Structure 1
Amino acid sequence: MNHRTALAAALLVLASPMAAQAQDGRATPAHAADGHQHAAFASDRLHVCVDGPEGAPDLILIPGLSSSPAIWQGTVDHLAGRYRVHRIHVQGFAGAPAQGNATGPVAAPVAEEIARYIREQGLNKPAVVGHSMGGTMGMMLAARHPDLVGKLMVVDMIPFMGAMFGPPGTTAESVAPVADQVHAAQATAPRDQYLAQAKASVTGMINTEAARAGPLRDVETSDQQVSAAAFRELIATDLRPELSKITAPVEVLYVKFNDARMTDALTDTVYRMSFSTLPGARLKRIDDSAHFIMLDQPTAFHGALDAFLSAK
């Protein structure tokens, strides 16, 4: 089986259950934020939690759909003041008022605001790490503002999630009706049904039982409309044609897809083909982990992050 045939087979395996799950109204789980210090940056799309000494190298951490900056707390603790860490909190997620994200797309406008943040705060080519939807925003940022990003790490995200919601050859245009259908199902689901299904999905996204409490809180405190709109945008956005514009070093950490029919080899093929328009990207699979790698395998994640940040 050649790579393209393997990719087609893998996507056919994944497409049906993923689309069905999304249409059931499940939202990606997250981790709740507690007290933190905000950067002096006015935006109706995001706010920024800052940790670490001034003058240290800058690192931007972007959480995923419905997630809060607290998913990165272990990473902040691990870095122990070696970096000036800027954690993005998207408005509408994890207790933050929806504000400018109340209608329309979320990821692309937030990526533009992160670019403005980098410029206005005078950050010098910060390293950027994004998990899931945060990885999508990281790719948008690095491709559309290549002069602003020093390094990019994408954590468990491909550049076109819509490929998993249609047959081989699916495009952003052809999957748009599916994205609309998924959005309508999530946006109109009764709140109790939406939350029950979202919480059920945590089990498949975090293997470590003790780490699930925070993500469950964040699902409860995220704006259902913002999360539904953001998920629609993820399905309908194909960043593969833009990847060649990225000039920063890129590393992609990923896990085997959570489907019994998927193998390590098929997962590897999906990621290789997904990032084929960025041949310099380094791809690294993290085993024995679900979607939230930083929670399930913190030692492996922090080791990979340290190596990535220190590489010349």
Structure 2
Amino acid sequence: MDRRTFIAGCGAAAALGFAGEALAFSSSRLSVEVRGDGPDVILIPGLTSGRAVWDGTVRALPGYRYHLIQVAGFAGDPARGNASGPIVSGVANEIARYIVEAGLTRPALIGHSMGGIVAMMIAARYPSRVGKVMAVDILPSPASGFGFAGVQVAPLADALFNGLMSSPQGRGVLDALIGGFGGSDVANSRSDSAVVARATHELAVMDLTPELPKITAPLAVVYAVPDIPADAAAVDRLYRGGYARAHGARLQRVAGSGHMIMYDQPQRFYAEVRAFLDDRP
């Protein structure tokens, strides 16, 4: 855990009277900042994003103890342990360890994009540690969202990954793409290009669909649809099919939004999160 996060966490913890287990946790793959007081909620950002992506949500929905994840290598944080090894599953395993070491009892998990994959992975592989899960704008097979359903994605992903990482020119292209991911959050553009490339490759070849039946916690899926009716209907079909094997998954569309729903439709997003958190498992 970096020094600034530790100091900030200590101050917040002392003020709220829970300076203890959560702050003892240390990981080379992520850090955790604790804010607020109440039932425990773990917030997991997506590819290139930092914990700041959740600032509006935390402000809009007080009354919870939020555990905000920062993935090493994203949004200006050094790569540290994510410089090697699996990133997506590595982060999932570390959050599962954090739940135990921080003494959390079946917290709610909310993850955006890659963070949604991480949240579902934890729920499927460590079901006793999770109270409920919300996945935001992500399919269990992320490549299917880009029209690759039924296609052998691995060779394409391997070729793209190797091409981008094998030369300074390729890394330059990747850095430019990462800058475009940042949107209104400039910190996102400071993500480590090698970490982003490896995480993107993992997501491209990943399919959590076979693991969906292992998720026993309530699962909510919030996804964005465009204003064009025909396109919106196609996205609806994609999500219904993608989550067909999830027991009782509740799917909720958000119209007129891009991928960053918390920025594009904040009030609607906060309402969905509030409904999710208020519905006790």
AA aligned to 1:45 is R
CA distance in 2, matches of 1:97, 1:178: 28
What's the offset of the Cα at 1:298?
A: 1.0
CA RMSD of aligned residues (A): 2.2
CA distance in 1, matches of 2:200, 2:34: 27
Taking the TM superposition and a 5 Å limit, the aligned residue runs for 1:103-118 are 103-118=84-99
1:222 aligns with 2:191: yes
Q: Is the 8 A contact 2:178 2:193 kept in 1?
A: no
CA distance in 1, matches of 2:181, 2:87: 22
What's the offset of the Cα at 1:104?
A: 2.9
Greater RCO, 1 or 2 (C-alpha within 8 Å, sep 6+): 1
TM-score by length of 2: 0.86
Partner of 1:197: 177
Q: Identity of aligned pairs, percent?
A: 46
Partner of 1:213: 184
Partner of 1:209: none
What's the offset of the Cα at 1:288?
A: 1.4
Partner of 2:20: none
CA distance in 1, matches of 2:125, 2:138: 18
SS at match of 1:143: helix
CA distance in 1, matches of 2:230, 2:164: 27
2:58 to 76, 85, 88: 76
Partner of 1:30: none
1:37 aligns with 2:9: yes
2:157 to 163, 179, 182: 179
Partner of 2:110: 129
SS at match of 2:127: coil
CA distance in 2, matches of 1:287, 1:36: 37
CA distance in 2, matches of 1:294, 1:185: 33
Partner of 1:293: 261
Q: Alpha carbons of 1:109 and 1:226: their partners in 2 closer, same or farther (altered >3 Å)?
A: same
CA distance in 2, matches of 1:96, 1:165: 28
CA deviation digits over 1:241-268, x for unaligned, max 9? Answer: 000000110110001269x796111100
1:304 aligns with 2:272: yes
Taking the TM superposition and a 5 Å limit, the aligned residue runs for 1:56-75 are 56-75=38-57
SS at match of 1:213: coil
What's the offset of the Cα at 1:142?
A: 0.5
Q: Is the 8 A contact 1:165 1:175 kept in 2?
A: no
The runs of at least 4 consecutive aligned structure 1 residues that moved more than 2 Å come to 35-40, 162-170, 184-202
What's the offset of the Cα at 1:175?
A: 1.9
CA distance in 2, matches of 1:288, 1:257: 5
Q: Is the 8 A contact 1:50 1:86 kept in 2?
A: yes
What's the offset of the Cα at 1:217?
A: 2.8
What's the offset of the Cα at 1:166?
A: 6.6
What's the offset of the Cα at 1:101?
A: 0.7
Between the two proteins, the alignment pairs up a number of residues equal to 261
Partner of 2:119: 138
1:248 to 180, 200, 217: 217
Q: Is the 8 A contact 2:48 2:178 kept in 1?
A: no
SS at match of 1:263: helix
CA deviation digits over 1:52-91, x for unaligned, max 9? Answer: 12xx1000000001110000000111122x0110011011
CA distance in 1, matches of 2:48, 2:233: 30
Structure 2 gap ranges (5+): 11-22
Q: Alpha carbons of 1:75 and 1:241: their partners in 2 closer, same or farther (altered >3 Å)?
A: same
CA deviation digits over 1:109-138, x for unaligned, max 9? Answer: 110000000001110100000000000001
AA aligned to 2:250 is R
AA aligned to 2:184 is A
